[in-house]
Amino acid sequence: MKLHPVVSLLVQRVALGLLLLLAVSVLIFAGTQLLPGDVAQAILGQSATPQALANLREQLGLNDPAYVRYFRWLGGVVQGDLGTALTNGQDIATAMGGRLWNTMFLAFWAAVIAVPLAITLGLIAVRYQGRWPDKLISAVTLSTISLPEFVVGYIAMFLLAVKFRVFTSVSTVYDGMSFADRMSAIALPVIVLVLVVLAHMMRMTRAAILNVMQSAYIETAELKGVRPFTIIARHALPNAIAPIVNVVMLNLAYLVVGVVVVEVVFVYPGMGQYLVDHVAKRDIPVVQACGVVFAAVYIGLNMLADVVSILSNPRLRHPK
Amino acid sequence: MNDELHYLLGRTARGQFSRRAFLGRAAALGVSAALANTMLAQAVRAEGPKKGGLIRLGMAGGESTNSLDPALAASEVPMQVSFTWGELLVDVKPDGSIDPRIAEEYSSSPDAKEWKFKIRKGVEFHDGKTVTAEDVVATLKRHTDEKAKSGALGIVQGIADMKADGDMVTLTLKDANADLPYLMADYHLMIQPGGGIDNPAAGIGAGPYKITVNEPGVRHGFEKFANYWDSSIGHADQVEILVINDGTARSAALQSGQVHIINRLDPKIIGLLKRAPGVRIEAVAGRGHYVFIMRTQTEPFVNNDLRMALKYAINRKEMVEKILGGYGHIGNDFPINAAYPLFDDTIEQREYDPEKAKEYYKKSGHDGSPIILDTAPGAFPGAVEAAQLFQESAKACGIPLEIKRDPDDGYWSDIWNKAPFCASYWGGRPVQDQMYSTAYLSTADWNDTQFKNERFDSLLLAARGELDEAKRKAMYSEMAHLVRDEGGVIVPMFNDFIAGVSDQIQGWEADPNQELMNGRAQVRCWLA
- Residue B101 in this model has a pLDDT that exceeds 90: yes
- What average pLDDT does the segment B509-514 reach? 88
Domain A93-280 falls under CATH 3.40.50.1100: no
- What average pLDDT does the segment A89-107 reach? 88
pLDDT of residue B148: 63
pLDDT of residue A283: 83
- Residue B357 in this model has a pLDDT that exceeds 70: yes
pLDDT of residue A316: 73
Which of B146, B215, B253 is nearest residue A174 as measured by Cβ atoms?
Answer: B215
Q: What is the rounded distance in angstroms from the CA atom of residue B427 to the CA atom of residue B497? A: 10
This model of the complex carries an ipTM of: 0.76
- Residue A320 in this model has a pLDDT that exceeds 70: no
pLDDT of residue B437: 86
Q: What is the rounded distance in angstroms from the CA atom of residue A251 to the CA atom of residue A204? A: 12
Contact yes or no for A269 and B242 at CB 8 A: no
pLDDT of residue B434: 86
Beta pairing class for B489-502 and B328-330: antiparallel
B408: nearest CA partner in chain A? A280
Helices (H) and strands (E) in chain A — how many of each? 15, 0
- Residue B154 in this model has a pLDDT that exceeds 60: yes
pLDDT in tens, B403-452: 999 888 778 778 888 899 999 999 888 889 989 988 899 988 788 899 99
Q: For a pLDDT cut of 70, what percent of chain A falls above it?
A: 96
B227 vs B129, B133, B366, CA distance in Å? 11, 19, 66
pLDDT of residue B45: 66
pLDDT in tens, A115-168: 999 999 999 999 898 899 999 999 999 898 888 888 999 899 889 888 888 888
Chain A with chain B: Cβ pairs closer than 8 A: 134
pLDDT band at B245 (very low <50, low <70, confident <90, very high): confident
Contact criterion met (CB below 8 Å) for A185 and A168: yes
The domain limits of chain A are 1-22+283-320, 36-78, 93-280
* CB proximity under 8 Å: A 63-102 to B: 85, 87-90, 95, 98
- Residue B212 in this model has a pLDDT that exceeds 90: yes
Closest CA to A281 of A116, A48, A49: A48
pLDDT of residue B468: 86
Q: Which helix (H) or strand (E) holds B448?
A: none
- For every residue of A50-73, DSSP letters joined together read HHHHHHHHHHHTTTS-HHHHHHHH
What contacts B347, CB < 8 A, 6 or more positions away? B332, B334, B477, B480, B481, B484
pLDDT in tens, A191-241: 999 999 998 999 999 999 999 888 888 889 889 988 888 888 888 888 888
Total residues found in chain B within this entry: 528
Q: Does A162 touch chain B (CB under 8 A)?
A: yes
Q: Mind telling me how many Å the CA of A170 is from chain B's nearest CA? A: 6
Range in A92-106, B20-34, B95-109, B258-272 the model is least confident about: B20-34
Contact criterion met (CB below 8 Å) for B59 and B76: yes
pLDDT in tens, B270-309: 888 888 888 999 999 889 999 999 999 998 899 999 999 9
B322 vs A275, B278, B381, B405, CA distance in Å? 35, 27, 12, 19
pLDDT in tens, B215-244: 888 899 999 999 999 999 999 999 999 999
pLDDT of residue B14: 63
Q: Does B258 touch chain A (CB under 8 A)?
A: yes
A164: nearest CA partner in chain B? B256
Q: Mind telling me how many Å the CA of B63 is from chain A's nearest CA? A: 6
Q: Does B409 touch chain A (CB under 8 A)?
A: yes
- For every residue of A79-115, DSSP letters joined together read TT---B-TTT--BHHHHHHHHHHHHHHHHHHHHHHHH
**B279 φ/ψ angles, rounded to the nearest 5 degrees:** -130, 155
pTM: 0.82
Mean of pLDDT over chain B: 88
Helix (H, G, I), strand (E, B) or coil at B359: helix
**For the packed helices A179-213 and A132-146, what is the interaxial angle rounded to 10 degrees?**
130
- Residue A47 in this model has a pLDDT that exceeds 60: no
Mean of pLDDT over chain A: 86
- What average pLDDT does the segment B388-416 reach? 88
